Amino acid sequence: MMRFTPALFNHTEALLAELLRSPFPADAVVSRYFRQHRELGHADRGFAAETVYAALRRKRSLSARCGDDVTSRRLLLATLACVNGMNRRELDSVLREVEGKWLAQAKAVKLEDLPPAVRLDLPDWLYETLCARFDADEVEKLATGLNQSAPLDLRVNLLKAERDAVLARLQADGIAAEACRYSPHGIRLNGKPSLARHPLFLDGSIEVQDEGSQLLGFLVQPKRGEMVADFCAGAGGKTLLLGAMMRSQGRLYAFDVAEKRLAKLKPRLARSGLSNVHPVRIESEHDIKIKRLAGKLDRVLVDAPCSGLGTLRRNPDLKWRQTPESVAELNAKQASILAAAAGPVKQGGRLVYATCSLLEAENEAIVAAFLAAHPDFVLLSAADILRKQGVEIDALEAGDDRLRLLPHRHGTDGFFAAVLQRT
């Protein structure tokens, strides 16, 4: 059981201060801090992590509450009082005498009096971009969804276990869980228990993977015995899903430019029981290893490097890091990668382009430009492909062949995907 103490407050403040000045991703900073402070127990770590992430999510409106003196200490106190709902008595042990009056004023700030972008905790450029796409009411709901903490989703490795059996085992172990709304392989946990030492995790029966990410595998729809590539494999979450869908038969390439990311795939691969995965480091999307596969692959997944703005529930720092300029740089890379990934796709083969972005510039615009330059590819209906596999997605935009998942509509990260077929 976690007990709120001045020592825990000091650790949380130190971690938040580090996050606010660090150029590195928030999850890496948090992990490093916890490695350096092993005296913090599981509950204390959970409190510190959730609190600093809440501060990052709500940084703009919390800064408005802080007035002219925005410090990590004030941001933390405002988070505890205004987001976590702690009262004055609970904060007494950490509150300095002069801070009582300021905190009362901070709590009295009316959110509805703040400009919309500040109230919704979005940078101006992102708020304006979303307003060009959605009406004001939808932007409000989307921003609210992005400001929630993401649930913990698991994917059952069907090579090793059945979902019902995994659910029964988790519930027997006192872990509240239910089947995901859409993914036939998915389980959503109620809370965030530590699973690193759970037998189902250790034997590869389960992997942590957002439900939206799982659905991308059903768009690729790989079959046993096919030749398939995960073009930007990273640490291999989707690679493992594709391999399991192939029942470990055929050949599955996991391409990535980063040796470090592919190294993270190795222990996961060992647990998974898959024998058809071939991790390959490439120099770039133009690597000769890619060119040698011209016209040979049945299916290629391009989970393109992107702004990550669909993942703000779990990566809230990204909204303060990304800029229109950084997105424009990504657009050039995305177009280049998609064009290169088309080369290995055989006639009648399938190419799936996906991002975890909400921006048209990274999604529809990239696909439209690709189709204009590649008349031998056509767009297939993502909803039809999913429906044929028993996956019904509600709240999709009518008549649109692409898949768009949004946290406030679907309870997943924000994902975009387009399914392209070489004619």
User: Percent of the chain having pLDDT more than 70?
Assistant: 98
Taking the C-alpha atoms of residue 291 and residue 320, their distance in angstroms, rounded to an integer, is: 38
Q: How many CA atoms are closer than 13 Å to the CA of 370, on its beta-carbon side?
A: 31
The strand pairing partners of 379, in sequence order, are: 420
Which pLDDT value is given to residue 354?
98
Q: What is the dihedral of CA 63, 64, 68, 72, to 10 degrees?
A: -20
Can 356 be counted among the known catalytic residues? yes
Which pLDDT value is given to residue 395?
66
The catalytic position among 66, 180, 232, 356 is 356
Taking the C-alpha atoms of residue 354 and residue 338, their distance in angstroms, rounded to an integer, is: 10
**Furthest-apart CA atoms within the chain: distance in Å:** 73
Instruction: Fill in the amino acid letter for 402.
Output: R
Which pLDDT value is given to residue 202?
96
Helical spans, DSSP H, in 22-95: 26-36, 42-57, 59-66, 72-78, 88-91
Which pLDDT value is given to residue 97?
86
Which pLDDT value is given to residue 400?
83
Helical spans, DSSP H, in 150-258: 163-172, 199-202, 211-220, 237-245
Taking the C-alpha atoms of residue 215 and residue 183, their distance in angstroms, rounded to an integer, is: 6
pTM for the whole thing?
0.94
Is the CB of residue 170 less than 8 Å from the CB of residue 193? no
Taking the C-alpha atoms of residue 368 and residue 109, their distance in angstroms, rounded to an integer, is: 45
Which pLDDT value is given to residue 69?
86
Which pLDDT value is given to residue 411?
95
Q: Could you write out the DSSP letters of every residue in 351-412?
A: EEEEES---GGGTHHHHHHHHHH-TTEEEE-HHHHHHTTT-PPPSPPTT--SEEE-HHHHSS
Mean model confidence pLDDT for the chain? 95
Residues of the chain with pLDDT under 70: 1-2, 395-399
Per-residue model confidence as pLDDT tens digits over 232-277? 999 899 999 999 999 999 999 999 999 999 999 999 999 999 999 9
Angle at 309 between CA 301 and CA 45, to 5 degrees: 105
Per-residue model confidence as pLDDT tens digits over 350-382? 999 999 999 999 999 999 999 999 999 999 999
